[in-house]
Amino acid sequence: MTCYTTGMPRTTFDEPFFKRFYSRTPVHSRRKIESLATAVHNMCTWWDVRISSVLDVGAGLGYWRDWYASNHPRVKVCSIDVSEYACTKYHHELRDISTWRPSRAFDLVLCQSVLQYLSNSRADVAIEHLAAATKRVMYFEVPTSSDLKHIVDRRSTDFNIYARSGEWYRKRLTKHFTHAGAGLWLSKTSGITLYEFERGCKL
């Protein structure tokens, strides 16, 4: 496990952070998230999963919630973030997935670029909480140590994070989920059946 800066990764995300990574060179633009949300929701439909509830962990600017409000207004979205700034400005609940275990499960859980900010022990707990929160499907995105070396753009990516291998995450996720590829993980209690080539392959 590597921390790419001399200090501990930040645990609060203030206004300068959001301006740095979401204004000038956004990590994920609204248009990109809209495309991703469409794809994820439609894959759930393909699996005959009716999405009526969504938990967005690390909701940031609230693009997922906005997409659901515009396209599927009957879906109830719970958006949470550890940033007091984001919660105030974008109207999320102030929650930390490494300490908060939801009391109910959601049809779809979204966890995009969150766990790299947590230490190993906190990330372990967070994955357990994500599993408990996922009734059917989870969309999970996190940069791995390989991604940081070979793929991500340093101009638009925060490197003040913990870098872990993909195997580190897979080992923990596969206790609770079946990997369907493209960031999609199906709860082992979801009842969803996949063909062999629908499952994600371990590289």
User: Which CATH number do you get for residue 84?
Assistant: 3.40.50.150
The answer to whether residue 97 is domain-embedded is yes
Give yes or no for residue 2 having a pLDDT over 60: no
For residue 181, tell me if it sits in a domain. Answer: yes
Question: Vertex 83, ends 17 and 156: CA angle to 5°?
Answer: 30
Would residue 20 count as lying in a domain? no
Tokens of 94: 């102030």
Q: Is residue 7 included in any domain, yes or no?
A: no
pLDDT value of position 29: 87
- The answer to whether residue 40 is domain-embedded is yes
What strand order describes the sheet that includes 93-94? Answer: 93-94, 76-81, 53-57, 106-112, 134-141, 184-187, 177-181
Q: 1 or 195: whose pLDDT is higher?
A: 195
| pLDDT digits 0-9 by tens, 151-193 | 877 666 666 789 999 999 999 999 999 999 999 999 999 999 9
In a domain, 195, yes or no: no
User: Is the pLDDT confidence value at 24 over 70?
Assistant: no
> Nearest-CA neighbor of 95 among 84, 81, 109, 105?
81
- Whether 199 maps to a domain, the answer reads no
What is the percentage of the chain residues whose pLDDT exceeds 90? 72
pLDDT band for position 58 (cuts 50, 70, 90): very high
Residue 176 resides in a domain = yes
Range of the domain at 57: 29-189
> Considering its fold, how many domains does the chain have in total?
1
pLDDT in tens, 108-156: 999 999 999 999 999 999 999 999 999 999 999 999 999 988 987 766 6
DSSP class per residue in 120-155: HHHHHHHHHHHHHHEEEEEEEE---HHHHHHTS-TT
* CA–centroid distance for 176 within its chain: 16
Is 84 in a helix, a strand, or coil?
Answer: helix
